[in-house]
Amino acid sequence: MKKIILLLMMLTFAAGASAQSQNDGTFSFIVQHDGTLCITRYQESSSTTVNVPETLDGKMVTKIGTGAFSGCRAQKIVLPDTVAEIGNSAFAGCPRLKEAPIPEFAVSIGSYAFENCTAMQTAVIPDSVTEIGDFAFSGCTVLTAVTLPEEITEIGSYAFRNCIALSEISLPETLTAVSEGMLQHCKSLQTVSLPDSVTEIGAYAFAECVSLSSVSMSQTVESIGASVFAKCYALTNISLPFQIPEIPDSAFEDCVALEAIDIPNLVTSIGNHAFTGCRSLTKVILPDSVTRIGNSAFSYCDRLRTIEIPASVTEIGKSILYRCPMPVIRGEDGSAIHRYATKNKIHFEAK
């Protein structure tokens, strides 16, 4: 029994020792379970270029660990093709890094990996990458071009948020969802074309893309999230997929140039503030499928003159036409919207 206990202690010590940090004077690293190395920290130097070797201490480098180069002031970092994984915050806040160092056979890019790399102009992501983590390139304010691999399956939430110089991005056919806030506040983005593979668009996905004037999306999209196009000031029209069940809260809030909107026939709910501040809308027709209109849904629509609301609407929020100067509600006599118009002294016309 004592021999067994001693053997277990020796094995535990050996496993612990393999994970202990080592240092060659330039890089700190640990040995992983498979015998390969993970770089855990780069020792800052005055060099403008950093070359990470394929091997250290005779072992292959396969991973750049969490925060390994965060805050590094080098202009260029070269990783070997042996690196398959770039960890969370690996290069976050590198103020002089001009190009994302992503090796040819990398598989994953961690969350916040290149966040706030404010000098980074290009990011070429190889075909081997299948996953990009949350906030991976968020705040890369001079990033103008991103090349995404054709086989990527997942792009994390807010991955390109605040990439204010990004003017175009091509999304691959393998992508099934545009994640929450993925391109939020990309204020130079002018057009977006979503592949047929996309079935879901998350909340804030394109919010504050103030130059976005054209969005092409397939009828395969089944849901859109809250504030998805909020503050897209240049968006003049959009064709919504027929399958979506609702216009969520603030979906088009402050889309000041939006001139027309066709609500699909399966929509049952118009969310709170869904069209607040759409100052160019002049007419809205709600389909018979709609049963609910949320609070302030069409408030501050300065030019809205006519809105047709079916008798199917039984739940009506507060101030749905607040600060709409001369609105006319068209509907059926005796309906809930007729009673709402009478109570709120809004002009009503029977259909």
Question: Is residue 291 domain-resident?
Answer: yes
Residue carrying the six token digits 């090796």 = 103
Whole-number Å distance between alpha carbons of 137 and 181: 12
Question: Is residue 276 domain-resident?
Answer: yes
Question: Is residue 18 domain-resident?
Answer: no
Domain that holds residue 320: 245-351
DSSP 8-state secondary structure symbol assigned to residue 57: T
pLDDT, averaged across the chain:
93
Chain centroid to Cα 254, Å, comes to 19
Question: Is residue 227 domain-resident?
Answer: no
- Which has the minimum average pLDDT: 4-8, 176-180, 274-278, 292-296? 4-8
Residue carrying the six token digits 């996905």 = 205
* Residue 153: predicted pLDDT: 84
**Cβ neighbour number for residue 79 with a 10 Å cutoff:** 24
* Residue 100: predicted pLDDT: 94
Q: For residue range 288-341, list pLDDT tens digits in order.
A: 999 999 999 999 999 999 999 999 999 999 999 999 999 999 999 999 999 999
Whole-number Å distance between alpha carbons of 209 and 222: 22
In CATH, what number is assigned to the domain containing residue 296? 3.80.10.10
Q: For residue range 271-284, list pLDDT tens digits in order.
A: 999 999 999 999 99
Question: Is residue 185 domain-resident?
Answer: no
Q: What is the mean pLDDT of residues 123-134?
A: 95
Q: For residue range 41-94, list pLDDT tens digits in order.
A: 999 888 899 999 999 999 999 999 999 999 999 999 999 999 999 999 999 999
Whole-number Å distance between alpha carbons of 184 and 161: 5
* Residue 46: predicted pLDDT: 87
Looking at the 3D structure of the chain, how many domains does it have? 1
Residue 2 has pLDDT above 70, yes or no: no
81 and 106 Cβ atoms separated by less than 8 Å: no
Q: What is each CA distance from 74 to 70, 97, 119, 179, in whole angstroms?
A: 11, 6, 11, 31
Question: Is residue 315 domain-resident?
Answer: yes
Residue 104 has pLDDT above 70, yes or no: yes
* Residue 19: predicted pLDDT: 64
DSSP 8-state secondary structure symbol assigned to residue 99: B
pLDDT classification of 151: cutoffs 50, 70, 90: confident
Question: Is residue 150 domain-resident?
Answer: no
